[in-house]
Amino acid sequence: MESDAMNKDEVELKNSAIIHKDNSLNRLDLSFLKHIELSEYKKSDLLAYWINDFAKYHDEERIFDITKSGIHSRGDVIKVNLGFNIGNELGGLHYCIVLNKYDNTRNGALNVIPLTSRKDGKKYDSSSVNLGKELYNVFQEKIEKEKQKLQQILDELEKIDDVPVNIQKIIEEEQKYIKKMKNEISKMKKDSIALINQITTISKQRIFKDTIRRNVKVSGESLDLIDKQIIKFFTK
């Protein structure tokens, strides 16, 4: 009897979950149709992209290995998928500055400040910090170092008649990475703005690792400016 009761309860929970799922999908479909009706095609696309990403994060949550997500320190620059924004929230892919003084392989979340490129004529919250072209310069320096390392490898390989296939693949991947980095920093030629009023907590699952493979940090001077604004706007 007890087993029958448990099975009945499980069936009810399952049916309830299916109903909630169907209701949510129907409601979501209405939202998409509304955006399309109002010719908000970009917004509809962004929402669709985020739902796909969210579903992926949700599915991978069970197997996400925090111990392999890396250890980050204060001032590290990471690229983050902030998702679909509501109202004045910042959404989409953005570089962010890590605020955590301490991190470890058991910690699955980080506190970050999102960055955005300065747009002419746009007014930013008074708490924001203009980092100038620091981020652009840091990435430019990284690219130059990567190019030098690659050139050293190529110089050595010129002494070899038959280059192994695996080495060729490594070189091709490095060349692709450098090209991708060049495209990335072309968007940073204008000043970078640290949006203090958008401080948020993110799961390490949201870190987009396709662009930054090696440590990138902002200067101590920039962190000091950020600290002053945090103290001014978030403490007495």
- Position with higher pLDDT, 99 vs 118: 99
pLDDT band at 214 (very low <50, low <70, confident <90, very high): low
Q: What is the mean pLDDT of the chain?
A: 89
143 and 75 inside one domain: no
140, part of any domain = yes
Residue 180 pLDDT:
82
CATH code of 208's domain: 2.30.30.110
103 and 84 inside one domain: yes
Residue 212 pLDDT:
62
55 and 112 inside one domain: yes
46 and 123 inside one domain: yes
85 and 49 inside one domain: yes
127 and 209 inside one domain: yes
Domain that includes residue 90, residue range: 40-132+190-234
174 and 140 inside one domain: yes
State how many domains the chain has: 2
85 and 160 inside one domain: no
Contacts 24+ apart (CB under 8 A), 75-78: 75/217, 75/218, 75/219, 75/220, 75/222, 75/223, 76/215, 76/216, 76/217, 77/115, 77/135, 77/138, 77/212, 77/216, 77/217, 77/218, 78/110, 78/112, 78/207, 78/208, 78/212
49, part of any domain = yes
125 and 195 inside one domain: yes
Residue 199's alpha-carbon distances to 24, 65, 82, 133, in angstroms, are 30, 25, 11, 21
128 and 138 inside one domain: no
Residue 218 pLDDT:
93
Q: What are the tens digits of pLDDT across the range 107-128?
A: 999 999 999 988 888 889 999 9
Residue 4 pLDDT:
61
In the predicted model, what is the mean pLDDT of residues 131-159?
A: 86
126 and 215 inside one domain: yes
55, part of any domain = yes
166 and 206 inside one domain: no
Q: What are the tens digits of pLDDT across the range 27-67?
A: 999 999 999 999 999 999 999 999 999 999 999 999 999 88
Residue 30 pLDDT:
97
